[in-house]
Amino acid sequence: MAQPNIQINFGKFEHISESWNNKTYSHPSWSLIYELSPGGICKTRHETVILDSKHIYLIPPELPFTGYQKDNPKQFYLFFETDSFYEQVQPKVYGIRIDKLLSELLDRIFKEIQPEPHFLSKPGMLNAIALASSALAQIPQEYITKERIDPRVEEALRFLRSNTNVDIKVQEIADECGMSLSAFTRLFKSETGQSPYQYLTDLRMNWACEILLSGNSPMEKIAEMIGYHDRFHFSKTFKRKIGITPAEYRRRGQKL
């Protein structure tokens, strides 16, 4: 029998700030969220989950959710990949009650957090893998299904994630799938809860947020990196999605 495999892609321990208000996420990997204090809210198509410090929350790959917050809670989160078996789960937010083992793993991890770009020491990373494994193991079996996302949409998602920096025409993706534009758009939305354009915009805005907080690249360069031809279109879209301008987002992030 193949052994489960977990790979940590990214993690942070930070105040989520006002930028989490009305921001939509859809990650290609699993998300694990733990809040030290209440204040975070995850809203999907089917449920609204108020986050608390008594649970670890697992969000499956490709599940779009909108994040809200109040009181600027501090949040620990991981993005990780695992075997396809655990990708075949019903699309919902899983609240895993923190037991003695999970509590001990969190304590060990917090002692091993390091300044960027390292995030965690090697022992801390091993404990993070153990945390993700232990939380996954507590997903009830009845939520694990053999149903997969439509392969045409799955391929489109991979294409969109790999080409956020280029001018993408949804018609071209529909043609590759052998479908009309309207039929492809309906199928994509039924599988993901978003139109292809909405999904691509969210990918670009999530990437822009990471770039804004990780360096001092000029706005023109950031716009180019995420597929916009001019900074004004980028700034307008960013403010509509995030609620503040890119420059203000960067300033607030630097103060945290």
Structural domains for the chain: 6-143 (2.60.120.280), 151-254 (1.10.10.60)
d(CA 30, CA 63): 9
Q: Say what the pTM is.
A: 0.66
Give me the tens of pLDDT residue by residue for the chain, a chain 256 residues long: 445 688 887 788 888 876 677 777 877 789 999 999 889 999 988 899 999 999 999 999 878 888 899 888 999 999 888 866 566 788 899 999 999 999 999 999 999 887 765 678 889 999 999 999 999 999 988 887 656 678 899 889 888 888 888 888 899 999 988 999 999 999 999 888 889 998 899 888 888 887 887 778 899 999 999 999 889 999 999 988 877 889 988 887 665 4
Alpha-carbon dihedral sign for residues 212, 38, 142, 104: positive
Please report, for residues 157, 223, 228, the alpha-carbon distance to residue 207 in angstroms, rounded to integers and kept in the order given: 15, 11, 13
Stated as kind and residue range, the H or E segment containing 124 is: helix 122-136
DSSP lists the bridge partners of residue 48 as: 43
DSSP lists the bridge partners of residue 78 as: 11, 32
